[in-house]
Chains A and B, each alone.
Chain A
Amino acid sequence: MSLGALFSGCRRIENIDKQKPVIALSIPGAFPRNCDTLYFGEPFDFIALFTDNVELGSLRAYSIDIHHNFDHHSHSTEQLSACSFDAAKQAKNAFLMIQDFSLASGLKEIRVQESVFIPSGNALGLFDEGDYHFFVSLTDKEGWSAKKGLSIKMMHRPKKP
Chain B
Amino acid sequence: MLFVSVSMFCAFLPAQALYRLSGRVLNSDAQALAGAVIALPSEGRYAGSDAQGLFSIDGLAKGVYPLQISLFGYAPLLDTLRIEGDLSYEARLSVLALSLQEVVVTDHYDELRKKKESLSIETLNADYLRQHRSGSLMKTLDRLPGVSSIDIGAGLSKPVIRGLAFNRVAVVENNIKHEAQEWGADHGLEIDQYAVDRVEVIKGPASLMYGSDAIGGVVDMKSESPPQDKTLGGSLELSAKSNNDFIGAFAALYARKNSFFANLRASLLNYGDYKVPTDSVDIYSYRAPLHERRLRNTAGKEHNLHLSFGVMGELFQSRFYVSSTNARAGFFANAHGLEPRNVDTRLHDASNRDIQDPRQNVSHLKLINTSHYRLGSMKFESNLGFQRNFRQEWSPYVSHGYMPALFPDSLSFPADLERQFDKTVVSGSLKFFYDDAEKLSIRLGLSGDYQKNRIDGRGFIIPAYRQVGFGTYGFAKYSLSENSLIQVGLRYDFSRIATRAYQDWFPSPVNTDGLTELRYLQRAQAIDRSFSNLSWSLGYNLNRERWSFKGNAGKSFRVPIAKELAANGVNYHHFSYEVGDAALSPEISYQLDGGVDYASKNLAIGLSPFLNYFSNYIYLNPTAEHDRQYGNGNQVYRYEQSRVLRYGGEMHAHYQLFKHLQLGIIAEYVYSEQLSGAKKGFTLPFSPPLSAIFNVKYRRAELACFEQFYFTLDLRMTAAQTLVVPPEEPTAAYQVVDVGLGGNLNWMKQKISFMLQLQNLFDKKYFNHTSYYRLINVPEPGRNLVLSISLPFAGKMK
A7 to B401 alpha-carbon distance, docked (Å): 46
Q: A59-B624, A137-B633, A143-B623 are in contact. Are A14 and B681 (CB under 8 A)?
A: yes
User: Which of A68, A73, A76, A94 is packed against the most chain B CB atoms within 10 Å?
Assistant: A73
Contact B339 A137 (CB under 8 A): no
A16 at the A/B interface (Cβ < 8 Å)? Answer: yes
Partner of B626, one of A4, A62, A91, A92: A62
Contact A16 B681 (CB under 8 A): yes
Chain B residue with the shortest CB-CB distance to A67? B399
Partner of A4, one of B398, B624, B625, B669: B669
Contact A75 B340 (CB under 8 A): yes
- The dominant DSSP class at the A interface is loop
A140 to B726 alpha-carbon distance, docked (Å): 10
> Separation in Å of the A6 CB from the closest CB of chain B?
9
Contact B342 A76 (CB under 8 A): yes
Partner of B398, one of A15, A71, A92, A99: A71
B671 at the A/B interface (Cβ < 8 Å)? Answer: yes
Q: A14-B681, A64-B633, A80-B287 are in contact. Are A91 and B406 (CB under 8 A)?
A: yes
CB 8 Å contact bits of A1-43 with B (1 = contact, 0 = none):
1011001000110111010100000000000000000000000
A61 at the A/B interface (Cβ < 8 Å)? Answer: yes
> Separation in Å of the A48 CB from the closest CB of chain B?
15
Contact A74 B624 (CB under 8 A): no
Contacting residues, chain A, for B667 (C-beta < 8 A): 1, 3-4
Contacting residues, chain A, for B286 (C-beta < 8 A): 75-77, 149
The B-contacting residues of A in range 136-152, CB under 8 angstroms, are 137, 139-145, 147-149
B651 at the A/B interface (Cβ < 8 Å)? Answer: yes
A86 at the A/B interface (Cβ < 8 Å)? Answer: no
A148 to B649 alpha-carbon distance, docked (Å): 40
User: Which of B402, B651, B681, B692 is packed against the most chain A CB atoms within 10 Å?
Assistant: B681
Q: A137-B575, A143-B678 are in contact. Are A61 and B625 (CB under 8 A)?
A: yes
Contacting residues, chain A, for B690 (C-beta < 8 A): 1, 3-4
A79 to B792 alpha-carbon distance, docked (Å): 57
Contact B342 A144 (CB under 8 A): no
> Separation in Å of the B269 CB from the closest CB of chain A?
31
Contacting residues, chain B, for A135 (C-beta < 8 A): 633
A57 to B726 alpha-carbon distance, docked (Å): 14
Q: A11-B671, A60-B626, A147-B284 are in contact. Are A74 and B726 (CB under 8 A)?
A: no
Partner of B681, one of A3, A15, A58: A15
B341 at the A/B interface (Cβ < 8 Å)? Answer: yes
B719 at the A/B interface (Cβ < 8 Å)? Answer: yes
Contacting residues, chain B, for A92 (C-beta < 8 A): 405-406
Contact B692 A1 (CB under 8 A): yes
A57 to B342 alpha-carbon distance, docked (Å): 30
Q: How many chain A residues touch the partner (CB < 8 A)?
A: 53
A69 to B342 alpha-carbon distance, docked (Å): 10
Partner of A141, one of B575, B624, B626, B633: B624
Contacting residues, chain B, for A148 (C-beta < 8 A): 285
A155 to B156 alpha-carbon distance, docked (Å): 45
Partner of A58, one of B398, B624, B633, B724: B624
The B-contacting residues of A in range 61-103, CB under 8 angstroms, are 61-65, 67-69, 71-78, 80, 90-94, 96, 98-100
Q: A16-B682, A98-B401, A137-B635 are in contact. Are A61 and B624 (CB under 8 A)?
A: yes
> Separation in Å of the A41 CB from the closest CB of chain B?
18
Partner of B627, one of A69, A100, A143: A100
The A-contacting residues of B in range 589-640, CB under 8 angstroms, are 621-628, 631-635
B673 at the A/B interface (Cβ < 8 Å)? Answer: yes
Q: A76-B342, A77-B285 are in contact. Are A100 and B406 (CB under 8 A)?
A: no
The B-contacting residues of A in range 116-161, CB under 8 angstroms, are 135, 137, 139-145, 147-149
Contact B625 A7 (CB under 8 A): no
Contacting residues, chain A, for B402 (C-beta < 8 A): 96, 98
Chain B residue with the shortest CB-CB distance to A68? B405
Partner of A7, one of B671, B724, B726: B671
Contact B633 A99 (CB under 8 A): yes
Q: A68-B405, A75-B286, A76-B286 are in contact. Are A145 and B622 (CB under 8 A)?
A: yes
Contacting residues, chain B, for A63 (C-beta < 8 A): 626, 633-634
Contact A7 B669 (CB under 8 A): yes
B727 at the A/B interface (Cβ < 8 Å)? Answer: yes
> Separation in Å of the B723 CB from the closest CB of chain A?
8
Contacting residues, chain A, for B727 (C-beta < 8 A): 144-145
Chain A residue with the shortest CB-CB distance to B665? A1
Contacting residues, chain B, for A60 (C-beta < 8 A): 625-628
B647 at the A/B interface (Cβ < 8 Å)? Answer: yes
A137 to B623 alpha-carbon distance, docked (Å): 13
Contacting residues, chain A, for B341 (C-beta < 8 A): 73-75
A77 to B282 alpha-carbon distance, docked (Å): 9
Contact A139 B287 (CB under 8 A): no
Contacting residues, chain A, for B682 (C-beta < 8 A): 16
Chain A residue with the shortest CB-CB distance to B342? A74
Contacting residues, chain A, for B23 (C-beta < 8 A): none
Partner of A137, one of B405, B626, B724: B626
B59 at the A/B interface (Cβ < 8 Å)? Answer: no
B648 at the A/B interface (Cβ < 8 Å)? Answer: yes
A100 to B283 alpha-carbon distance, docked (Å): 23
> Separation in Å of the A75 CB from the closest CB of chain B?
5
A61 to B627 alpha-carbon distance, docked (Å): 10
Contact B342 A72 (CB under 8 A): yes
Chain A residue with the shortest CB-CB distance to B635? A145
Contacting residues, chain B, for A72 (C-beta < 8 A): 342
Chain A residue with the shortest CB-CB distance to B336? A73
Contacting residues, chain A, for B647 (C-beta < 8 A): 7
Q: A77-B284, A90-B406, A142-B726 are in contact. Are A100 and B633 (CB under 8 A)?
A: yes
The A-contacting residues of B in range 732-770, CB under 8 angstroms, are none
Contacting residues, chain B, for A139 (C-beta < 8 A): 622-626, 635
Contacting residues, chain B, for A99 (C-beta < 8 A): 633
Chain A residue with the shortest CB-CB distance to B340? A75
User: Which of B285, B398, B667, B673 is packed against the most chain A CB atoms within 10 Å?
Assistant: B285
Partner of B632, one of A1, A98, A145: A98
User: Which of B342, B624, B669, B730 is packed against the most chain A CB atoms within 10 Å?
Assistant: B624
> Separation in Å of the A89 CB from the closest CB of chain B?
11
CB 8 Å contact bits of B264-293 with A (1 = contact, 0 = none):
000000000000000000011111000000
Contacting residues, chain B, for A142 (C-beta < 8 A): 624, 679, 726
A77 to B673 alpha-carbon distance, docked (Å): 33
A74 to B401 alpha-carbon distance, docked (Å): 16
Contact B626 A61 (CB under 8 A): yes
Contacting residues, chain B, for A90 (C-beta < 8 A): 406
Contacting residues, chain A, for B622 (C-beta < 8 A): 139, 143-145
Contact A144 B340 (CB under 8 A): no
Q: What are some 30 contacts across the A-B interface (CB < 8 A)?
A: A3-B651, A4-B690, A7-B648, A7-B671, A12-B673, A14-B681, A15-B681, A60-B626, A61-B625, A62-B626, A68-B405, A73-B341, A73-B396, A73-B398, A74-B342, A75-B340, A75-B342, A76-B286, A77-B283, A77-B286, A94-B405, A96-B399, A96-B405, A98-B631, A135-B633, A137-B575, A137-B635, A139-B625, A140-B624, A145-B575
Given contacts A65-B633, A91-B399, A137-B575, 17 further A-B contacts (CB under 8 A): A60-B625, A61-B625, A61-B626, A62-B626, A63-B626, A67-B399, A68-B405, A71-B398, A73-B342, A73-B398, A77-B285, A91-B405, A96-B399, A137-B633, A141-B624, A143-B622, A149-B284
User: Residues of A at under 8 Å CB distance from B?
Assistant: 1, 3-4, 7, 11-12, 14-16, 18, 20, 57-65, 67-69, 71-78, 80, 90-94, 96, 98-100, 135, 137, 139-145, 147-149
User: Residues of B at under 8 Å CB distance from A?
Assistant: 283-287, 339-342, 396, 398-402, 405-406, 575, 621-628, 631-635, 647-649, 651, 667, 669, 671, 673, 678-679, 681-682, 690, 692, 719, 724, 726-727, 730
The 3 closest A-B CB pairs, nearest first, are A57-B624, A74-B342, A63-B633
